[in-house]
Amino acid sequence: MHASKCLVTGCAGFVGGHLCEKLLAMGHTVAGVDNFFSGHRRNMASFADHPGFRFYETCVTRTDELAKILAGDVPVRVCFHLAAVVSVAWSMDHPDRTMEVNHRASQRLHALCREQNLSTFVFAGSAAEYGETGQAAIKEEAAGPGTVQLSPYGRAKYLTTSLVEQSGYGASLRCFNIYGPRQDPASPYSGVISRFCMQALAGEPVTIFGDGGQTRDFIHVADVVRAYLLAAGLDDSADPPGTPLHGAFNVGRGESTSILELASIIAELAGSRSEPRFFPPRPGDIRHSLADAGKLAAATGFKPVTAMRPGLADTVAWMRVGAAGQS
Ligand code: UD2
């Protein structure tokens, strides 16, 4: 495969770190950008010293800095734009900052990538762009100009995805609930799987918001990384190979798991007798969220390969050793 220089914004984040690791292992070179707002140096530990990796500590709102990085000695060919305000809850209290980072800065970077003739711009969209659809399995068309997103996070992601779609340049991956090793369990905004794993391993009660009957479409980070490569036209297994995608694509497994089921599987895998403890539902919590991921499958043949149990076992195993050594 032809080696490309890639820009990965959010390279110290949970997904960004995994993506950089994979790109470098494939022989690409990576310029990584992060400001450690929610990312961690530990997420770059496995590749920070790789000769093909160069790190730039800056914020994605600094478009002038990004322009310099893009036009370096070896020009960047592909941009993966993952840096963002990542917490739905934080966005509720900081709508202006969320709009600046998740939409306006993304808009500027998209324009820059286009001007500089990068082969593509792949944006981290989100299932939060859909709001409450009432649909069993959500298709991409469910988000439109009349959609009412439940958070500034969802709104800003939607606006950026829309501009990517309308421009005819680049792709947006609307990922559903991503989980796996290195997801930070320690923040109140952390994903449910990382929190449950940490609680179960510590022998503490698992915290369930609401009755636990709410469902999510969980997808392992390794599958999400493959989806990013396909979207950029960098995956050899794609059919046809090497064609960047255009437009918005759901990334999920198309399978529902309830929060109660999740608590029970994680307790079993962790060998824990932790009991669930019930708390009031979170404001704005969606009841059911399930992807119809047929569009990405039809375009690329993509099929997630990590089933729920092995994926959770992998996450519990990492948390047992990895989380203990976090700095
Ligand atoms: C996820 C993403 C968010 C956005 C959204 C799109 C994460 C962390 N967040 O939000 O960025 O893309 O999907 O719709 O991936 N819960 C508990 N106990 C806990 C923690 C959570 O019961 O200790 C419940 C929570 O009330 C919710 C479900 O678990 O019903 C999933 O919560 P989450 O925070 O992992 O993710 P979500 O779907 O709110």
Average pLDDT score over residue span 203-227: 96
pLDDT category, 324, cuts 50, 70, 90?
low
Tell me the C-alpha distance between 96 and 76, whole Å. Answer: 30
**Start-to-end Cα distance in the chain:** 36
The amino acid at residue 290 is: L
Ligand 1 centre from 169 Cα, in Å?
30
Ligand 1 centre from 69 Cα, in Å?
34
pLDDT greater than 70 at residue 326: no
Q: Does any ligand 1 atom lie closer than 6 A to the CB of residue 285? A: yes
Structural contact between residues 191 and 231, judged by C-beta atoms closer than 8 angstroms? no
pLDDT category, 239, cuts 50, 70, 90?
low
- The H helix count followed by the E strand count for the chain is 11, 13
Tell me the C-alpha distance between 132 and 149, whole Å. Answer: 8
Smallest CA-to-CA distance from 18 within 32, 5, 4 is with: 32
Active-site hit among 56, 130, 153, 228:
153
Average pLDDT score over residue span 146-174: 96
Burial 73-85 (b: 16+ CB within 10 A, else e): eeebbbbbbbbbb
Q: SS3 of 32, please?
A: strand
The verdict on whether 153 is a catalytic residue reads yes
Average pLDDT score over residue span 134-149: 94
- The least confident of 162-171, 175-184, 217-226, 228-237 is 228-237
Q: What percent of the chain has pLDDT over 70?
A: 96
Write down the mean pLDDT value for the chain. 93
Q: Are strands 177-179 and 78-81 parallel, antiparallel or unpaired?
A: unpaired
Average pLDDT score over residue span 36-58: 97
What are the residues facing 125 on neighbouring strands? Answer: 174
Residue nearest atom 16 of ligand 1, based on CA coordinates: 192
Smallest CA-to-CA distance from 319 within 179, 165, 137 is with: 179
Residue nearest atom 7 of ligand 1, based on CA coordinates: 191
pLDDT greater than 70 at residue 74: yes
Strands (E), 214-280: 215-216, 218-220, 247-251, 257-258, 276-279
**Residue 321 has what pLDDT?**
85
DSSP secondary structure, 90-136, as one string: HHHH-HHHHIIIIIIHHHHHHHHHHHTT-SEEEEEEEGGGG-----S
Top pLDDT among 322 and 100 is at 100
Q: SS3 of 56, please?
A: strand
Tell me the C-alpha distance between 157 and 106, whole Å. Answer: 9
Average pLDDT score over residue span 131-154: 92
**Residue 274 has what pLDDT?**
85
Average pLDDT score over residue span 164-187: 95
**Residue 26 has what pLDDT?**
95
- The least confident of 47-61, 234-248, 296-310 is 234-248
pLDDT greater than 50 at residue 327: no
Name the burial class of residue 119, with classes exposed (0-12), middle (13-18) and buried (19+) by CB atoms within 10 angstroms of its CB: middle
pTM: 0.95
pLDDT category, 7, cuts 50, 70, 90?
very high
pLDDT digits (tens, 9 = 90+) for 242-298: 789 999 999 999 999 999 999 999 999 999 988 899 999 987 788 899 999 999 999
Ligand 1 centre from 282 Cα, in Å?
9
- The least confident of 106-120, 169-183, 223-237 is 223-237
pLDDT greater than 90 at residue 201: yes
Q: Does any ligand 1 atom lie closer than 6 A to the CB of residue 191? A: yes
